[in-house]
Amino acid sequence: MSVTIPPFLDTSHPADVVRWAADAFGVDNLVVTASFEDAVLVHVAATAVPGIEITLLDTQYLFPETQWLVDELTKKLDLNLRVVRPLPEIVPDNLWQSDIEACCNVRKVEPLNRAIAGKQAWLTGIRRADGPTRANAPVAAYDVGRGLVKVNPLAALSDDDMALYVQLHDLPVHPLLDKGYFSIGCWPCTRPTAPGEDKRAGRWSGNAKTECGLHV
Ligand code: SF4
pLDDT tens per residue, range 162-173: 999 999 999 999
Distance (Å) from CA 147 to ligand 1 centroid? 25
Question: Ligand 1 — pocket residues by CB below 6 A?
Answer: 59, 61, 96, 100, 103-104, 107-108, 185-186, 188-189, 212
Q: Dihedral through CA 79, CA 85, CA 88, CA 94, nearest 10? A: -140
What span, in angstroms and rounded, lies between the C-alpha atoms of 46 and 77? Answer: 7
User: Is it the case that residue 9 has pLDDT exceeding 70?
Assistant: yes
- DSSP states of 39-84 as a string? SHHHHHHHHHSTT-EEEEE--S-B-HHHHHHHHHHHHHHT-EEEEE
pLDDT tens per residue, range 20-54: 999 999 999 999 999 999 999 999 999 999 999 99
Output the CA–CA distances (angstroms, integers) from residue 153 to 9, 50, 190, in the order listed: 9, 16, 25
Distance (Å) from CA 60 to ligand 1 centroid? 9
As a whole number of Å, the end-to-end CA separation of the chain is 22
The predicted pLDDT at position 198 comes to: 84
pLDDT tens per residue, range 109-152: 999 999 999 999 999 999 999 988 899 999 999 999 999 999 99
Of 75, 97, 80, nearest in space to 32 by CA: 80
Q: For a pocket test of ligand 1, which of 107, 203, 211, 214 has the largest count of ligand atoms closer than 8 A to its C-beta?
A: 107
Give the atom of ligand 1 at the shortest distance from the alpha carbon of 189: 2
Output DSSP code: residue 129.
Answer: G
CB burial class (10 A; 0-12, 13-18, 19+) of residue 133?
Answer: middle
Query: Catalytic residue at 212?
Result: yes
User: Is it the case that residue 213 has pLDDT exceeding 80?
Assistant: no
Residue ranges and CATH numbers for the domains of the chain are 7-202 (3.40.50.620)
